Amino acid sequence: MRITKLELFHVKPRWLFLKVHTDEGITGYGEPIVEGRAKTVEAAIRELESYLIGQDPLRIEHHWQVMYRGTFYRGGPILVSAISGIEQALWDIKGKYYNIPVYEMLGGACRHKIRMYSHCSGDTPEEIAKNAVKKQQQGFTAIKIGIDPPVLNVDSLAFVESQVAKLAAIRAAVGKEMDIAIDFHGRVSPAMSIRLAREFEPYYPMFIEEPCLPENVDTMVRVAQSTSIPIASGERLFTRWGFREVLEKQAIAIVQPDLCHAGGILEAKKIAAMAEVYYGSIAPHNPLGPISLASCLQLDACTPNFLIQEHPSLHEKWDLGAGYLKKPFVIEDGYIKLPEGPGLGIEIVEESLVERAYPGDWDTPRLYHEDGSYAEW
């Protein structure tokens, strides 16, 4: 079997899908994307295409090594995201070739269902608490809220109290059984993260995500050592080498590799194994589409230190595959059942790739402080 063609599809709301063809008629799908840089990733895939055409798609590890090491320069969001989507598609092909799910090729299932968490937002404490109750009524046992942007490097007491008020309202509304994670989104300075975490502790957050930007690991360590709340991070880290220092210095308790950015399914499995050495957990990052989710579920199924899976909760349920998958994913009582089909376990509605096409020009939002200076989104 040989790879014969790579097809790319820019589809709404901001995704890039890849279809890899073979001469035996078996095809595989992946989701190679950097949000706001979809066309750049497309160019990177086209540069890798000349190597891939004519290759045996079953030699996944070998091709990963050649694509990653063969460019001389290592890492980075563009190259590794391109490789990630290709790797997902190759696993999809391999699973279809052997007629088994990807997780069966990676050690077999560790669980029979996969716990999900949903995003929750609201402009006021009353609104966000109401929305949290709705998520609870839908069966979710965990939600994630975000810190309101923009945040000054040293912000006011009024700002801190406004964020605490939202968390307190949710906890009062949903009780003690529901988990509440808080995404700082890298928009908060280490100093402010420490202040916010101290005020959040009485409400027992499940974890704090990206309390500060990950470029300086020592600052992450300082935040982690200042609070009892578990720290999660990793959506902006690439490959196992990107996670080495944060694990060695125990800056995080929960790794969050994005399977569309960090190197794909097997690379995330390796990252999870590194975290396991430090008794850490994995909660894959996923703000993207149904192919991304399908890849995450295959990893979640076979990874012993899996904690919980992110689900972005798009209103149209596109992220669960509505309109894109012949059988969209279903969340029941906060869980998705173990995938059963071969490969990634999904079948794409190919007409949707045309009907929902868009130019691929989605851009990252930009925020500014009151004085006009740039603020982290």
CA 228, 262, 43 angle in degrees (round to 5)? 145
* Amino acid at site 8: L
Distance CA 231, CA 208 (A): 5
Distance CA 153, CA 166 (A): 21
Q: Which of 10, 21, 285, 311 is catalytic?
A: 285
8-state DSSP, 214? T
* Amino acid at site 57: P
Q: Which of 185, 261, 315, 369 is catalytic?
A: 185
8-state DSSP, 203? G
Is 10 tagged catalytic?
no
Distance CA 263, CA 244 (A): 14
Inter-residue contact 255 to 209 (CB < 8 Å): no
Distance CA 51, CA 49 (A): 5
Distance CA 19, CA 89 (A): 7
Inter-residue contact 114 to 335 (CB < 8 Å): yes
Nearest to 232 by CA among 282, 187, 288: 282
Name the one residue in this structure whose structure tokens are 């995404």: 183
Inter-residue contact 185 to 149 (CB < 8 Å): yes
Distance CA 84, CA 82 (A): 5
Helix axes 77-98, 265-277, angle to 10 degrees: 100
Distance CA 20, CA 4 (A): 8
Helix (H, G, I), strand (E, B) or coil at 352: helix
Structure tokens belonging to residue 276: 């396991």
CA 182, 231, 185 angle in degrees (round to 5)? 45
Distance CA 23, CA 375 (A): 50
Is 119 tagged catalytic?
no
Residues labelled as active-site residues: 185, 285
